[in-house]
Amino acid sequence: LSSVSLGAGAGQDVGRSCILVSIAGKNVMLDCGMHMGYNDDRRFPDFSYITQNGRLTDFLDCVIISHFHLDHCGALPYFSEMVGYDGPIYMTHPTKAICPILLEDYRKITVDKKGETNFFTSQMIKDCMKKVVAVHLHQTVQVDEELEIKAYYAGHVLGAAMFQIKVGCESVVYTGDYNMTPDRHLGAAWIDKCRPDLLISESTYATTIRDSKRCRERDFLKKVHETVERGGKVLIPVFALGRAQELCILLETFWERMNLKAPIYFSTGLTEKANHYYKLFITWTNQKIRKTFVQRNMFEFKHIKAFDRAYADNPGPMVVFATPGMLHAGQSLQIFRKWAGNEKNMVIMPGYCVQGTVGHKILSGQRKLEMEGRQILEVKMQVEYMSFSAHADAKGIMQLIRQAEPRNVLLVHGEAKKMEFLKQKIEQEFHVNCYMPANGETTTIFTNPSIPVDISLGLLKRETAIGLLPDAKKPKLMHGTLIMKDNSFRLVSSEQALKELGLTEHQLRFTCRVHIQDPRKEHETGLRVYNHLKAILKDYSVQHLPDGSITVESILIQATAHSEDQGTKVLLVSWTYQDEELGSYLTSLLKKGLPQSTA
């Protein structure tokens, strides 16, 4: 009856989320990310997919950003200011607060450090943010008459949300990145049983089922501790917001407990600010932090100090959190270059690295890196990977599908091979269709929505009253007339339909003469007929009226003497067309005569 079609900007690849959903005539763009592995045109999604000609504003009804990571919002100023879009952009309050800062940070690295032109400006970021409408969790936002969106908590990072997009009876849920297990600072993603027609889920960790959180944490602490003990330096490349805070809380408590002295640094500026955001948006963190924040705000750290570039050359052990997380630019890359040559040092990658980044290269075992200017950097330091990034693993994805009960599932934001595996698993377990489109591919999903109509209360009450009496569970047939007028559908009782349309009812009545042999008086015959019918038709209301006639439901039976033959009585059986079956049945029954034994 109608369809949901979908064009993905980042299908089987992590790094550039941008999905276009058309649902019941409405076009919604989900996320507007950029690819951090590229430095050329490929880093932004190709918006010509959306519409070849015509303005984006006319084509798109709204844009939704799930969270502030650049692979989900990095192309937003490019999209809204350089390509041109003036419609509404929806995101949660924390995302709205943090997103411009990350964008500005990213802009600085690309433009100021790399000297790129043809990139968005600070002013563009500001203008872009003016188009943003902030939403609350669970708030139902009416984008227009028909289109409504609703945000659910997603866990992944501060302010991350899943969005339900609904037009009439059709709905799509887009998860963005989410995390089904609560961590040290954020809660778990949650959605109600909203039964969307389509669930678009990320699948970064499609095949991984991670070991228990506690093990990973212990592992992490052990490695950091060992390195520091032997005098090495630990570099932890992180994104300013999210994992960084969790690991800070972890290290802070560990340092406190073990009474360690080695300094912990956090690369400057952004991070202090970031912690401040956490303090102000504490309602978005997990239960425990929220409960205790009045006594002790978890984001005020005692052991963790701001980092200065000069510290990198300091002798002795230290732990440094530096941005960005994939070692593709900025401070983390600078420090990495300085420390890479010493085997005592260690770099811990706590999150996923996009293909093409230095982070991805060293994780895949590359030890000789070609840096800018044909320089070769030999990596002697230890490289560790610890999955702390808060994506749902296979178990989590399955859990979410169980929660939401979608009719179709579409996987994005993952690697093709892993997605294939997960797809099979989903189809096996839930018996729903599962899709995994490639970049730029369009998937069309047919939905089969029920049609809502208005039913007159009188009719409904009448029907439910009947339905409830004998056996509530037994399905009950109901009858009525559907009036279709100017796109409105109303179900009313047939009588009311006639009345409303000014039509008069045409009564069709039948009267049958049934001759039976009975020498008795008329009223005695009547009584016999009554007793006879009463005995047979137990489920019907059979009544003997004072004037000698008999009714069965609304069928009238009268016994009169035959004008010529007194021994023959004529039974006049009269019914309307509505009682056709019963009337016809009665005549054939009476035709067989009355039982002799009675009376």
Partner 1 sequence: YCLSGHPTLPCNVLKFKSTTIMLDCGLDMTSTLNFLPLPLVQSPRLSKLPGWVLKDGSTFLDKELKECSGHVFVDSVPEFCLPETELLDLSTVDVILISNYHCMMALPYITEYTGFTGTVYATEPTVQIGRLLMEELVNSIERVPKAQSASMWKNKEVQRLLPAPLKDAVEVSMWRKCYTMPEVNAALSKIQMVGYSQKIELFGAVQVTPLSSGYALGSSNWIIQSHYEKVSYVSGSSLLTTHPQPMDQASLKNSDVLILTGLTQIPTANPDGMVGEFCSNLAMTVRNGGNVLVPCYPSGVIYDLLECLYQYIDSAGLSNVPFYFISPVANSSLEFSQIFAEWLCHNKQTKVYLPEPPFPHAELIQTNKLKHYPSIHGDFSNDFKQPCVVFTGHPSLRFGDVVHFMELWGKSSLNTVIFTEPDFSYLDALAPYQPLAMKCVYCPIDTRLNFIQVSKLLKEVQPLHVVCPEQYTQPPPTQSHRTDLMIDCQPAPMSYRRAEVLTLPYKRRYEKIEIMPELADSLVPLEIKPGISLATVSAVLHTKDNKHVLQLPPKPPQAPGGKKRKRVSDDVPEGKPPKPLLSGSIPVEQFVQTLEKHGFSDVKVEDTAKGHIVLLQEAETLIQLEEDSTHIICDNDEPLRVKLRDLVLKFLQKF
116-175: contacts with partner 1 (CB under 8 A): 134, 136-141, 169
Query: Can you read off the two tokens belonging to residue 506?
Result: 């045409």
d(CA 437, CA 442): 7
CB 133 → partner 1: shortest distance, Å?
12
494 touches partner 1 (CB under 8 A): yes
Give the β-pairing of 170-174 and 198-202: parallel
Among 338, 490, 520, 521, binds partner 1 (CB under 8 A): 490
Amino acid at site 289: I
Task: Select from 355, 385, 510, 551 the one that contacts partner 1 (CB under 8 A).
Answer: 510
Measured distance CA(44)–CA(16) in Å, rounded: 7
d(C-alpha 562, C-alpha 540), whole Å = 29
Which one from 170, 202, 246, 252 is the annotated catalytic residue?
Answer: 202
**Rule CB under 8 A: is residue 503 a binding residue for partner 1?**
yes
- To partner 1, the closest distance from the beta carbon of 197 in angstroms equals 13
Q: Is 482 in the site for partner 1 (CB under 8 A)?
A: yes
96 binds partner 1 (CB under 8 A): yes
Complex with partner 1: residue 40 or 564, whichever CB lies closer: 564
Q: Is 407 helix (H, G, I), strand (E, B) or coil?
A: coil
Judged by CB, which is closer to partner 1: 111, or 572? Answer: 572
Nearer to partner 1 (CB atom), residue 69 or residue 360: 69
Cα separations (Å) of 506 from 459, 473, 509?
21, 36, 10
Helices 93-107 and 270-280 pack at an angle, to 10 degrees, of 170
Stretch that binds partner 1, among 214-222, 329-337, 484-492, 517-525 (CB under 8 A): 484-492
Q: How many CA atoms lie within 13 A of 321 on its CB side?
A: 29
Amino acid identity, residue 469? L
The two beta strands, 433-435 and 376-378, are unpaired
Separation CA 572–CA 561 (nearest Å): 11
Q: Rounded to the nearest whole angstrom, what is the least distance from the CB of residue 27 to partner 1 in the complex?
A: 23
Instruction: Tell me which amino acid residue 598 is.
Output: T
Q: By CB under 8 A, is residue 518 in contact with partner 1?
A: no
Contact segment (CB under 8 A) with partner 1 among 76-84, 334-342, 512-520, 553-561 equals: 512-520
Among positions 300-319, residues that touch partner 1 (CB under 8 A) are none
**Residue 168-207 contact track with partner 1, rule CB under 8 A, x = bound:** -x--------------------------------------
Residue 256 among the catalytic residues = no
# binding residues, partner 1 (CB under 8 A): 84
DSSP letter, residue 503? P
377 binds partner 1 (CB under 8 A): no
Query: Should residue 408 be labelled a site residue for partner 1 when binding is judged by CB under 8 A?
Result: no
Closest to partner 1 by CB, 187 vs 237, is: 187
User: Quick check: 269 binds partner 1 (CB under 8 A)?
Assistant: no
Q: Report d(CA 382, CA 374) in Å as an integer.
A: 23
Least distance to partner 1 from the beta carbon of 114, Å?
Answer: 28
CA-nearest of 280, 72, 95 to 176 is: 72
Alpha helix ranges (H) inside 304-380: 330-339, 358-363
Rounded CA gap, 194 and 196, in Å? Answer: 6
Q: How far is the CB of 252 from partner 1 (least distance, A)?
A: 21
Q: How far is the CB of 539 from partner 1 (least distance, A)?
A: 7
DSSP H or E stretch at residue 202: strand 198-202
User: What is the residue whose two structure tokens read 């969106």?
Assistant: 149
User: Among residues 376 and 503, whose Cβ is nearest to partner 1?
Assistant: 503
Residues 409-468, interacting with partner 1 (CB under 8 A): 448-457, 460, 463-464, 467
Q: Taking the alpha carbons of 589, 592, 596, 597 in that order, is the dihedral positive or negative?
A: negative
Token couple for 504: 């008069």
Task: Pick one of 314, 342, 588, 598: the residue that binds partner 1 (CB under 8 A).
Answer: 588
**Dist CA 347 CA 358 (whole Å):** 12
| Per-residue binding letters, 530-569, with partner 1 (x by CB under 8 A) | ------xx-xx-----------------------------
CA–CA dist 42, 388 (Å, integer): 28
Q: Which is nearer to partner 1, 236 or 455 (CB)?
A: 455
Query: Angle at CA 561, nearest 5°, toward 555 and 566?
Result: 150
Task: Kindly tell me which of 65 and 228 has the beta carbon lying closer to partner 1.
Answer: 65
Residue 551 Cβ vs partner 1, minimum distance, rounded to whole Å = 16
Given the rule CB under 8 A, which of 93-101, 312-320, 375-383, 431-439 is the region that contacts partner 1? 93-101
Residue 86, phi then psi, degrees to nearest 5: -120, 5
User: Taking CB under 8 A as the rule, which mask of x and - marks residues 61-80 in contact with partner 1?
Assistant: --------------------
CB closer to partner 1, 378 vs 564: 564
| Residue span 332-371 as binding mask against partner 1, x where in contact by CB under 8 A, dash where not | ----------------------------------------
Should residue 273 be labelled a site residue for partner 1 when binding is judged by CB under 8 A? yes
CA distance to 271, 350, 407, per residue, from 268 (Å): 6, 19, 47
Smallest separation, CB 187 to partner 1 (Å): 13
Q: How far is the C-alpha of 133 from the C-alpha of 150, rounded, in Å?
A: 13
Q: Quick check: 38 binds partner 1 (CB under 8 A)?
A: no
CB atoms within 10 A of CB 85: 24
Closest of 445, 446, 402, 393 to residue 422, by C-alpha:
393
Our finding on whether 584 is near partner 1 (CB under 8 A) is yes
Nearer to partner 1, 58 or 495 (CB): 495
Enzyme catalytic residues: 202
